[in-house]
Structure formats: C-alpha cells, structure tokens
A and B are shown apart, each in its own frame.
Chain A
Amino acid sequence: MMIPGLLLALELSGENDEALARRLQCREPQAMADLYDRFGRLVYSVVLSIVREPAVAEDLVQETFLRVWNRVHGFDAARGALGPWILAIARNRAIDHIRSVGSRMDRNSFEFDAREHPSLFVDMEREVFNTDHARIIRAALAKLSANQQKVIELAYYEGLSQTEIAERMDQPLGTVKTWVRAALKHLRDELGQEAVA
C-alpha cells in the first residue's frame, strides 16, 4: 500500500500550474476534475484539521473549489502559484467557519477575501507542496519549543490573532509575538533559501 505522503506527492506533481489555470479559465469542467485530483486530498486534509467535522469539511472544500472556479479569471496563469492560492482559500474558509461558529467575527469574510486575492500569489514558488518540504517542515516543527509549537497551532488551526493567543495562553502580547516570530523564522530557515526565494 502506498504511503499517504508518496501518494500526495504523485498527485501534486501533475500538470503544471499554467496549463491547468488556463484550462480553468477556459471553463473546462475536466480542468476542475484535474484540479481536484491534484489538490483535493491536501485541501480536504487542511480543512478537516481545522474544522474537525468531516461533513463541514466537505462543504468547505466544495466552496473552496467553487471559489477558485469563480475567481480564476483574475489569476495570472503565467506567474501565479495555484497550490498556495487554493490552500489559502481553503484555510480561510475553514477559519472563517470556526470563527463564525464561535461567534468570533471581528475579522470578517471581506478581510479573508482580501488575503486570498489571486494577485497575492504571483511570483511565488509553485512547487511548494512536495515530500522534501513536508519532511523538512515536520522536522522543523518538532524542533520548536513547546510554546512556539503552541502559538503556531493556535494561529494556523484556530486562526487566533496574536492578541487572542496571548489571552488564551495567559501570556503578555509581546511574549507571544516573540514566539510567533521566532517560530516562523526557524521554519523559514529550515526550509532554506530555495523555499523562500
């Protein structure tokens, strides 16, 4: 049986972003199928890890792909990175959901819209989702201090602001900011220049 990581890598190594984005822009339903085959498992996994309810995750994944379909005309096929874009949309949808369920609506959907605008994903590295990066990021996360791991978890999976994290952890805001900065710097350094150039 193929291990999930290898299976994922095979899925993600398919058609290049530009060709797939152009087919999406030409409204080819098969392009949507190919997009799902390439990113669906990762998108579902990220969303499920945030909302923790399979039925809700399915709805949000569907919404994510529909949002890509509806907005792909604004995507720069020649220079845009499809994977990071669709994952940003997925994570935003999931966090928007848990914030609405938890009545934490201080950051509304319009703000999320701004943070997933396709123009923000131009000139990013495209092939960021690969087994090397997965291995490096997992090892790097494991090396973080307990507090650094906690702030990354609260930020990534719960979408808490640094102020909210400080309240949750009963720590000064300045301390939390220091942990977040140090954690992300460590992750960036571990990924190396080629990952962030």
Chain B
Amino acid sequence: MTCLELQQDYGAYSLGVADNPERTEIDEHLARGCPNCVPGVRNARTTVAVLATAVKIAEPPARLRRRVIAMVTPQEEERRFTMLPWAVAGLLAVALIAVAISVRRPAAPDTARLDQALSVLNDPAAKDVSFGDPAARGRVFVSPGQGIVLIAAHLPKLDANRTFELWVIPTKGNPIPAGTFRSGADATALYVRPGPVENAAAVAVTVEPEGGSPQPTTAPFIVTKL
C-alpha cells in the first residue's frame, strides 16, 4: 500500500487498534524508515500519548513507590549471607534470614528487606521448594500475595558485566522478569522480590547482561517448579 493510503490509519495504528493489512503495511514502512510514515506515525503517537492526561487521576498507595524502588536496590551486599552452614537454610529459614542479612549497612533498609522476607515466609499460602542442581542449590519461597525469597549457594561465577535474573514462569505466557541480583564472594545470595506473584507455575534464574533482560537470553540454570 502507498503512504497516501496508509496515512489515514496512522492514528489507529498508534492507538494499537489497526487491523491488517494496514497494520502490517505500516510496520513494513516503518521498518524501512519510510520518510512519510515515520514522522506521520510519530505525530499520531504524540496525540495518543496525550490521551493519558484525560484519565481520572488516582492516588497510588505509598507502598507502590517502595516496591518499585526495591526492585532496583543493589542486593549483593545486603542480601548475601555468609558463614552459615548451608544445611541450616532449609530447616529454619526465618532464623537464617535474620542472621544472614549483612549488618554493615544502615539499619533501615535491612529492616525493610527483612520485613519483606518475613512477610513471604509467614504467609501460610507460600510455597516452599528446594532445588539442588549441582550448579546451584537452595530454596525458594513464593507467596502469591507477598513475593519471592530465593536463597541460593554454589552460584556460578559471573563476569563483571553480567547479572543473575529471576523469572516467574506463569501458567500461560512468557517469563516475567522478577529482578536482578548478584552473589557474594562466597557464591551465595539471598534475594527478596516483594509484591504479588500471580499464576506462577515455576521460578527460574538465568545469567543476563547487566541490568537484566526483558526476556531470558540464556538457558536457566535454576528452575523450580511450584
């Protein structure tokens, strides 16, 4: 189709409601950097973006800000645990977390993280699964309402520009990113991902480029079916 024919569908395309063949045709024009369609769709996208300001403004709960920030707070110092016999982890998880979280950081963030971990472990609905692959072993707690706690040892060594990424594997659909973390010098990690976990069939861990990936780019080395 020609640009002239497509231009009246720039708006529907930008709104995400265009049907084929127009949708595919515009995709193709954009992919080849069409000098007419690229600016045309950009302008239409601006109009669609402004539609957001017409919604009724709602007040998000304060905890949402904490959840968003917690996702990207560095984990390696606070969440690693050292000097603990690994076998203890499966026996007394609450005590493990209380002892394991580093005390080198200011008290407030650790307290918040401990609270998050405890809220997961205290949830009667939380699932508790051990994994024992030779490459890494540990335990994962998944609370549908509170979040995920992952305790792992014998983690593989990471290059400087790589990170571990936790994934929630839903019963249907693509893996959902659940945050990144690194291990301590002793190859252990305690990672807490607060927030509801819906329809999780499994959790997995992969090695990803620093900052994480929207979808796994490597095969998971931990997969725990829930």
* Chain A contact residues, CB within 8 Å of chain B: 4-5, 8, 27, 29, 32-33, 36-37, 40-42, 44-46, 48-49, 54-55, 57-59, 61-63, 65-67, 69-73, 81, 83-84, 87-88, 91-92, 95, 100, 107, 109, 113-115, 120-121, 123-125, 128-130, 133-134, 137-138, 141, 152, 155-156, 159-163, 165, 173, 177, 180-181, 184-185, 187-188, 191, 195-197
B108 contacts the other chain (CB 8 A)? no
Contacts of A125 in B (CB 8 A): 46
Say whether A160 contacts B50, CB under 8 Å.
no
Which of the candidate stretches B87-95, B111-119, B172-180, B218-226 sits at the interface with the other chain? B172-180
**Cβ of B65 and Cβ of A33 under 8 Å apart?**
yes
Q: Which of B68, B69, B211 contacts A61 (CB 8 A)?
A: B68
Q: In the complex the two chains form, is A70's CB within 8 Å of B64's CB?
A: no
- With A42-B52, A125-B46, A162-B19 in contact, do A66 and B65 touch (Cβ < 8 Å)? no
Rounded to whole Å, the gap between the CB of A112 and the closest CB of chain B is 8
**A171 → chain B, closest Cβ, in Å?**
14
Q: A155-B16, A155-B17 are in contact. List 18 more A-B contacts (CB 8 A).
A: A8-B53, A29-B74, A40-B64, A57-B60, A62-B68, A67-B214, A81-B49, A88-B49, A109-B173, A123-B42, A137-B50, A138-B54, A141-B54, A155-B15, A162-B12, A181-B12, A187-B50, A196-B46
Distance in Å: Cβ of B16 to nearest Cβ of chain A: 6
A159 partner, pick from B16, B19, B60, beta carbons under 8 A: B16
In the assembled complex, the Cα of A27 lies from the Cα of B44 at a distance in Å of 32
B interface, how many residues as a size bin? 35 or more
Q: What are the residues of chain B within 8 A of A159 when measuring CB–CB?
A: 16-17
* Interface contact B16-A115, CB-CB below 8 Å: yes
Q: A44–B69 contact, CB under 8 A? A: no
Closest to B210 in A: A27
Chain A nearest Cβ from B199, distance in angstroms: 9
| Count: A-B pairs, CB below 8 Å | 198
Contact between B43 and A197, CB atoms less than 8 A apart = yes
User: Does A92 contact B51, Cβ atoms closer than 8 Å?
Assistant: no
C-alpha gap A88/B47 in the complex (Å) = 12
Q: Give the residues in chain A near B54, CB-CB below 8 Å.
A: 134, 137-138, 141
CB contacts (< 8 Å) of B8 on chain A: these are 181
- Given A49-B56, A70-B177, A155-B17, verify A65-B68 contact (CB < 8 Å): yes
Q: For B72, list chain A residues within 8 Å (CB).
A: 27, 29, 32, 66, 69
Least CB distance from A157 to B in Å reads 9
A27 contacts B211, C-beta separation under 8 Å: yes
| Set of chain A residues within 8 Å of B47, measured between Cβ atoms | 184, 187-188, 191, 195-196
A152 to chain B, nearest CB (A): 8
In chain B, positions 32-86 with a C-beta closer than 8 Å to chain A are: 42-61, 63-65, 67-69, 71-74
Is B64 a contact of A44 with CB atoms below 8 Å?
yes
